[in-house]
Structure 1
Amino acid sequence: MCGAQAQQDKLREGKLTFNGSCRTCHSVKEGDHRLGPSLHNIVGAKAGSVEGFGNYSQAMRQSGIVWDEETLDAFIAQPDEVVPGNNMKPFAGLPDAEARASIIEYLKAESEG
């Protein structure tokens, strides 16, 4: 399998995982806020700062986090450990490291595209 095909497969897996684990509350479309904020351009963004979304917990707004890949991975794995008092209930985390990595790659690709 060539590199481009492998990347497409990884992004497709990321989209499926995102849709199964995140899409109820989040979108990747700019400005499409749901129970949670749109995750468009989330990589590199300051936590609690997505324009047009007003339902952040005080803990998230004051966390000082910038969403790099490592921090996103940790948060998706255990949101209550990274930002105690966040509004992600009932989501308790995604333990599968490969699933988290595929979601992060998908978020990056959707933000670039």
Structure 2
Amino acid sequence: MTPRHAPVALWLAAGLLAAGASAAPDPAALQRGEQVYARCAACHAIEGNRTGPQHCGLWGRRAGTAQGYSTYSKALRDSAIVWDERSLNVFLKDPMKTVPGTAMGYAGVKDDGERADLIAWLKEATRPGKACQLVP
């Protein structure tokens, strides 16, 4: 590639990333993300509801609407959040600040790297065809 083509290649790469294209998940990041998720496991599971809702079916789901889970706060149901990488990043950093009145009494994952690894792991662990099956 010539130097004059480099800006076009960067622009195209940025466009692909913005459109949601991504490289294969980093195994080390996924392992770290699974370790962070262990903190969530007291209330959440991938495959079923616990004190908190299941994470299977998370991507693209509107907050407060997990199948078979009915004890959401009014604040979360009314939030209009749709779960994707961006919304999860904001919410998981400080749930109670992001959605005042949420029943999720958790201080959040403050470390940017831990949050990124957790989100990457969640995306992989809840991918259709994995162990993720919606349980009513």
Fold match (TM-score > 0.5): yes
For 1:14, the aligned partner's letter is G
Which residue matches 2:32? 13
- Where does structure 1 differ by over 4 angstroms across 4 or more consecutive aligned residues? none
1:43 touches 1:107 (CA, 8 Å); kept in 2?
no
Which residues of structure 1 form unaligned runs of 5+?
none
Structure with greater Cα Rg: 2
Which residue matches 2:16? none
Tell me how far 1:41 sits from its aligned partner.
2.3
Which residues of structure 2 form unaligned runs of 5+?
1-22, 131-136
Structure 1 length-normalised TM: 0.87
Any idea what the Cα deviations from partners look like across 1:72-93, whole Å, max 9, x if unmatched? Answer: 011111111211100111x111
Which residue matches 1:37? 53
For 2:37 and 2:90, how far apart are their aligned partners in 1?
A: 16
The share of aligned pairs that are identical, in percent, is 36
Which residue matches 1:98? 113
- Paired residues, what number? 106
For 2:104, the aligned partner's letter is M
Structure 2 length-normalised TM: 0.73
Q: Aligned Cα RMSD in Å?
A: 1.5
